Protein backbone atom coordinates (compact mmCIF):
# COMPACT_ATOMS: atom_id res chain seq x y z
CA UNK A 1 0.00 0.00 0.00
CA UNK A 2 1.39 3.42 -0.92
CA UNK A 3 1.20 5.64 2.15
CA UNK A 4 2.35 8.61 0.06
CA UNK A 5 -0.69 8.90 -2.23
CA UNK A 6 -1.26 12.55 -1.24
CA UNK A 7 2.24 13.70 -0.33
CA UNK A 8 1.53 17.39 0.13
CA UNK A 9 -1.18 16.81 2.73
CA UNK A 10 0.74 14.70 5.29
CA UNK A 11 3.43 15.68 7.76
CA UNK A 12 5.26 13.67 10.40
CA UNK A 13 6.80 15.47 13.38
CA UNK A 14 9.21 13.92 15.87
CA UNK A 15 10.09 15.80 19.04
CA UNK A 16 12.90 14.68 21.32
CA UNK A 17 14.69 16.29 24.26
CA UNK A 18 17.12 18.13 22.01
CA UNK A 19 15.67 18.50 18.53
CA UNK A 20 12.71 18.31 16.18
CA UNK A 21 12.50 16.54 12.84
CA UNK A 22 9.71 17.18 10.36
CA UNK A 23 9.07 15.07 7.27
CA UNK A 24 6.74 16.63 4.74
CA UNK A 25 5.05 14.43 2.18
CA UNK A 26 7.46 11.53 1.70
CA UNK A 27 7.98 8.90 4.39
CA UNK A 28 10.05 6.39 2.46
CA UNK A 29 13.57 5.39 3.58
CA UNK A 30 16.07 8.06 2.68
CA UNK A 31 13.59 10.94 2.96
CA UNK A 32 15.29 13.99 4.45
CA UNK A 33 13.58 15.88 7.27
CA UNK A 34 13.64 19.52 8.22
CA UNK A 35 15.57 19.49 11.48
CA UNK A 36 16.06 22.15 14.13
CA UNK A 37 16.77 22.45 17.83
CA UNK A 38 14.86 24.32 20.47
CA UNK A 39 16.88 27.41 21.37
CA UNK A 40 18.50 27.63 24.77
CA UNK A 41 17.64 31.00 26.26
CA UNK A 42 19.67 30.71 29.42
CA UNK A 43 23.10 29.05 29.78
CA UNK A 44 22.58 28.42 33.50
CA UNK A 45 19.19 26.83 32.85
CA UNK A 46 20.74 24.56 30.21
CA UNK A 47 23.56 23.58 32.59
CA UNK A 48 21.13 22.64 35.38
CA UNK A 49 18.86 20.71 33.03
CA UNK A 50 21.78 18.75 31.58
CA UNK A 51 23.30 18.07 34.97
CA UNK A 52 20.18 16.94 36.81
CA UNK A 53 17.54 16.04 34.23
CA UNK A 54 19.58 14.76 31.26
CA UNK A 55 18.27 17.47 28.98
CA UNK A 56 15.50 20.02 28.75
CA UNK A 57 12.53 20.27 31.08
CA UNK A 58 9.82 19.73 28.47
CA UNK A 59 7.05 20.68 30.88
CA UNK A 60 7.89 24.25 29.83
CA UNK A 61 7.36 24.52 26.11
CA UNK A 62 9.25 27.43 24.58
CA UNK A 63 6.66 29.60 22.81
CA UNK A 64 9.00 30.69 20.00
CA UNK A 65 9.85 27.05 19.36
CA UNK A 66 6.16 26.06 19.37
CA UNK A 67 5.39 28.83 16.88
CA UNK A 68 8.25 27.70 14.63
CA UNK A 69 6.81 24.17 14.57
CA UNK A 70 3.28 25.53 14.01
CA UNK A 71 4.51 27.53 11.02
CA UNK A 72 5.90 24.33 9.47
CA UNK A 73 2.54 22.57 9.98
CA UNK A 74 0.32 25.16 8.28
CA UNK A 75 -1.57 23.81 5.30
CA UNK A 76 -1.32 20.12 6.19
CA UNK A 77 -4.52 18.09 6.48
CA UNK A 78 -2.92 15.06 8.19
CA UNK A 79 -0.49 15.66 11.02
CA UNK A 80 1.22 12.78 12.79
CA UNK A 81 3.16 13.55 15.99
CA UNK A 82 5.65 11.32 17.80
CA UNK A 83 7.97 11.82 20.72
CA UNK A 84 8.96 10.76 24.19
CA UNK A 85 8.24 11.84 27.71
CA UNK A 86 5.53 11.14 30.20
CA UNK A 87 2.92 13.43 31.71
CA UNK A 88 3.96 17.07 31.96
CA UNK A 89 7.37 16.26 30.44
CA UNK A 90 5.91 14.96 27.17
CA UNK A 91 7.04 17.37 24.48
CA UNK A 92 4.70 15.92 21.87
CA UNK A 93 1.61 16.14 24.09
CA UNK A 94 2.58 19.65 25.22
CA UNK A 95 2.90 20.70 21.57
CA UNK A 96 -0.50 19.17 20.73
CA UNK A 97 -2.07 21.04 23.65
CA UNK A 98 -0.42 24.28 22.54
CA UNK A 99 -1.73 23.83 18.99
CA UNK A 100 -5.26 23.12 20.28
CA UNK A 101 -5.15 26.24 22.45
CA UNK A 102 -3.53 28.65 19.96
CA UNK A 103 -3.85 27.20 16.44
CA UNK A 104 -7.26 25.54 16.12
CA UNK A 105 -7.02 25.05 12.34
CA UNK A 106 -3.67 23.29 12.59
CA UNK A 107 -4.79 21.19 15.56
CA UNK A 108 -7.76 19.88 13.56
CA UNK A 109 -5.24 18.07 11.38
CA UNK A 110 -3.69 16.04 14.19
CA UNK A 111 -4.57 12.46 13.31
CA UNK A 112 -2.38 10.51 15.76
CA UNK A 113 0.14 10.92 18.54
CA UNK A 114 2.63 8.14 19.23
CA UNK A 115 4.85 7.85 22.30
CA UNK A 116 8.29 6.65 21.18
CA UNK A 117 11.91 6.73 22.35
CA UNK A 118 13.00 9.17 19.66
CA UNK A 119 16.42 9.70 21.24
CA UNK A 120 17.51 6.18 20.37
CA UNK A 121 15.93 5.72 16.93
CA UNK A 122 17.45 6.23 13.49
CA UNK A 123 15.69 8.23 10.80
CA UNK A 124 14.76 4.94 9.11
CA UNK A 125 13.13 3.68 12.29
CA UNK A 126 11.30 6.98 12.75
CA UNK A 127 9.98 6.81 9.18
CA UNK A 128 8.79 3.27 9.86
CA UNK A 129 6.77 4.65 12.78
CA UNK A 130 5.32 7.29 10.43
CA UNK A 131 4.27 4.72 7.85
CA UNK A 132 2.62 2.55 10.53
CA UNK A 133 0.73 5.55 11.92
CA UNK A 134 -0.50 6.52 8.47
CA UNK A 135 -1.56 3.01 7.48
CA UNK A 136 -3.36 2.59 10.80
CA UNK A 137 -5.16 5.91 10.15
CA UNK A 138 -6.44 4.92 6.68
The whole-number pLDDT of residue 50 equals 59
Total residue count of the chain as it appears in this document: 138
For the chain, list the domains and their CATH numbers.
7-137 (3.30.420.60)
Confidence of residue 130 (pLDDT cuts 50, 70, 90): very high
Q: Who wins on pLDDT, 107 or 88?
A: 107
pTM comes to 0.81
Confidence of residue 86 (pLDDT cuts 50, 70, 90): confident
E strand spans, 1-102: 10-15, 20-24, 34-36, 78-83
pLDDT tens for 41-75 read 556 655 665 555 555 555 567 788 889 999 999 99
CA dihedral 122, 126, 132, 138 (to 10 degrees): -150
Instruction: Give the span between the Cα atoms of 90 and 92, in whole angstroms.
Output: 6
The whole-number pLDDT of residue 5 equals 42
Cα dihedral sign, 44-58-102-21: positive
Strands 34-36 and 20-24: antiparallel
Confidence of residue 17 (pLDDT cuts 50, 70, 90): confident
CA dihedral 59, 65, 67, 73 (to 10 degrees): -100
Amino acid sequence: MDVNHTPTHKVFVVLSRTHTKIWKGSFEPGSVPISFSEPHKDKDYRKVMNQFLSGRNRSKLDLHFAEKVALELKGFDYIYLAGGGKGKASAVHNLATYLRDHHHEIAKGIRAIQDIDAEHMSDGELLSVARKMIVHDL
